[in-house]
Amino acid sequence: MQYISTRGTAPVLDFEATMLTGLARDGGLYLPDHVPPMKMSEIASLAGLSYEEQAYLVMRPFIGSAFTDEEFREIIARAYAGFGHPARAPMKQLAPNHFLLELFHGPTLAFKDFAMQLIGQLFQAALKRSGDRVTIVGATSGDTGSAAIEAFRGLENVDVFILYPHGRVSEVQRRQMTTPTESNVHAIAVDGDFDTCQALVKDMFNDFEFRDEVGLAGVNSINWARVLAQVVYYFSAAVTLGAPHRPVSFTVPTGNFGDIFAGYIARSMGLPIEKLVVATNQNDILHRALATGGYVTDGVKPSISPSMDIQVSSNFERALFDAYGRDGAAVAQLMDELKSGGGFQISQGALQYLRETFASGRASEEETAATITRTVGATAEVLCPHSAVGVHVAEANLSATPMVTLATAHPAKFPDAVEAATGTRPALPERMADLFERPERVTRLPNDLSAIESHIRENRTV
């Protein structure tokens, strides 16, 4: 399996190099050159297997010769051993044809753990073999950062620097990033929003001198391995509900478009997904783009679902690449327009492809809060605000086909919003009970590439 860039001019890489490279050197994102199909019988045979075995069977064709079968099985076993639920991704029923896929039983209580725990193991195995050292730099609106720190803390050959928007993540998210004591963990609070942080990370990748000097690696969903790991739970949920003999729909709370793009890959592999619904909060650029064809940024508005406060949605570039018939030059042109002018117009043909592929909807702040209140009243399920955005949009898309909404974070990560909607403050799991007593360690920096690069140069330990 080979990987190619969405902008068409970066070197073609194998799986391991793609994972360690992060952003392609032409500024694009890597994608497999083809998506390996799964036969109906292969999909059917996933039913009843452990999550780990399903993960092995779904991901194996993408890995090539990077790891032996035995190594890969062991890596997967270690990745999911720390999850707090034996099913890893259990499902609850909200209504006769509406299900909630709980993706928050990992160590940092968000869906990011599914990929990050796996990537941590994959990086360790690859770096042990090569003896290389890397500096991971990531941007976060709260959940990617804590998951990355948890996966890489204390590892010998890795430093991890996480940029988060100062004052725009929940207190639990911030403390998850600022309280680890390991010297290879570095939290940076940036003056700006998530888009600022993500742009800084991409600028670092495009600064080749810096990139090569520090051995830059990325664990945002620009990293293909992140997306791949998230493909698995679409299969696990769908076969539980009768796929491939019966189609299933999914609604995905969306910000950076990584999670829903994983669903798109599952469908491309042959999983019968009827509707794939993009659910946005008031930062609804994706919903507007699908409705109007204009992808136009208009400033991030802070919301009660802060992890989705994103306007420059990184993985949408991967969807555009397919929508434009895998024309890297066309994608590069759109991304230049986005960078220089804050937006672009999607061509009619590409828009038609995207509309046939994705449905979409948005939830206002009031609708999000009301969904948390209503759902706990009707089902006793306490939703986090991101999952509530998903449930609200899913309810407008219900049909005879079972709908699965992805519950992307644990309610205790966003206690203020959940308490305001339910009257009850959700408690953190016992193992995190002292989170608010642990000392914090963070560096505040301006939105200034050279200041952040200097900080990284001076503070990396490897």
CB of 440 to ligand PLP, least distance (A): 21
CB of 255 to ligand LJ64HWYM, least distance (A): 5
DSSP character at residue 459: H
Query: 386 contacts which partner out of ligand PLP, ligand LJ64HWYM, none, CB within 5 to 8 A by kind?
Result: ligand PLP
Using CB atoms within 10 Å of the CB of residue 208, give its burial: 0 to 12 exposed, 13 to 18 middle, 19+ buried.
exposed
Residue 258 binds ligand PLP, judged by CB under 6 A? yes
Which x/- pattern over 308-347 shows residues binding ligand PLP (rule: CB under 6 A)?
A: x---------------------------------------
d(CA 18, CA 239) in angstroms, rounded, equals 29
Query: 409 contacts which partner out of ligand PLP, ligand LJ64HWYM, none, CB within 5 to 8 A by kind?
Result: ligand PLP
Q: In this chain, which of 98, 362, 386, 460 binds ligand PLP, going by CB under 6 A?
A: 386
> Of 126 and 278, which CB lies nearer to ligand PLP in the complex structure?
278
d(CA 156, CA 132) in angstroms, rounded, equals 11
> Of 55 and 149, which CB lies nearer to ligand LJ64HWYM in the complex structure?
149
Q: Among all chains, which residue has been given the structure tokens 């990355």?
A: 148
b/e 415-428 (16+ beta carbons within 10 angstroms → b): bebbeebbeeeeeb
Query: 253 contacts which partner out of ligand LJ64HWYM, ligand PLP, none, CB within 5 to 8 A by kind?
Result: ligand PLP
Residues in 188-227 that interact with ligand PLP by CB under 6 A: 221
Query: 402 contacts which partner out of ligand PLP, ligand LJ64HWYM, none, CB within 5 to 8 A by kind?
Result: none
Q: Which residues bind ligand LJ64HWYM (CB under 6 A)?
A: 140-145, 220-221, 255-256, 258, 307, 314
Q: In this chain, which of 121, 146, 408, 422 binds ligand PLP, going by CB under 6 A?
A: 408
Q: In this chain, which of 255, 263, 272, 411 binds ligand PLP, going by CB under 6 A?
A: 255
Spatial CA neighbour of 119 closest among 142, 139, 136, 141: 136
Among 83-91, 205-213, 235-243, 253-261, the segment contacting ligand PLP (CB under 6 A): 253-261
CB atoms within 10 A of CB 231: 24
Q: Report residue 369 as tokens.
A: 């809060």
**Residue 39 is a catalytic residue:** no
CB of 315 to ligand LJ64HWYM, least distance (A): 7
> Of 31 and 308, which CB lies nearer to ligand PLP in the complex structure?
308
Residue 257 binds ligand PLP, judged by CB under 6 A? yes
CB atoms within 10 A of CB 325: 10
For residue 244, say if its preceding peptide bond is cis, omega within 30 degrees of 0: yes
Q: Among all chains, which residue has been given the structure tokens 């009707």?
A: 378
Tell me the number of residues near ligand PLP by CB under 6 A.
Answer: 16
CB of 40 to ligand LJ64HWYM, least distance (A): 31
Count of helix runs (H) and strand runs (E) in the chain: 19, 15
Query: 257 contacts which partner out of ligand LJ64HWYM, ligand PLP, none, CB within 5 to 8 A by kind?
Result: ligand PLP
Q: How many residues does the chain have?
A: 462
d(CA 12, CA 18) in angstroms, rounded, equals 9
Catalytic, out of 39, 92, 112, 413:
112
DSSP character at residue 13: B
CB of 45 to ligand LJ64HWYM, least distance (A): 30
CB 252 within 8 A of CB 406: yes
d(CA 202, CA 100) in angstroms, rounded, equals 34
**What are the helix (H) ranges across 241-283?**
258-269
> Of 226 and 460, which CB lies nearer to ligand LJ64HWYM in the complex structure?
226
> Of 314 and 357, which CB lies nearer to ligand LJ64HWYM in the complex structure?
314
Residue 307 binds ligand PLP, judged by CB under 6 A? yes
**What are the helix (H) ranges across 246-364?**
258-269, 285-292, 316-323, 328-341, 348-357
Spatial CA neighbour of 304 closest among 411, 397, 402: 411
Dump the DSSP string for 49-110.
S-HHHHHHHHHHHHHTTSS-HHHHHHHHHHHHTT-SSTTSS-EEEEETTEEEEE---STTSB
- The order of strands in the sheet holding 216-217 is 216-217, 134-139, 158-165, 185-190, 443-445
Q: Report residue 150 as tokens.
A: 């948890």
Query: 220 contacts which partner out of ligand LJ64HWYM, ligand PLP, none, CB within 5 to 8 A by kind?
Result: ligand LJ64HWYM
d(CA 179, CA 91) in angstroms, rounded, equals 32
CB of 112 to ligand PLP, least distance (A): 6
Residues in 129-168 that interact with ligand PLP by CB under 6 A: 143
Which x/- pattern over 18-57 shows residues binding ligand PLP (rule: CB under 6 A)?
A: ----------------------------------------
> Of 94 and 276, which CB lies nearer to ligand LJ64HWYM in the complex structure?
276
Catalytic residues: 112
Binding site for ligand PLP (CB under 6 A): 110, 143, 221, 253-260, 307-308, 386, 408-409
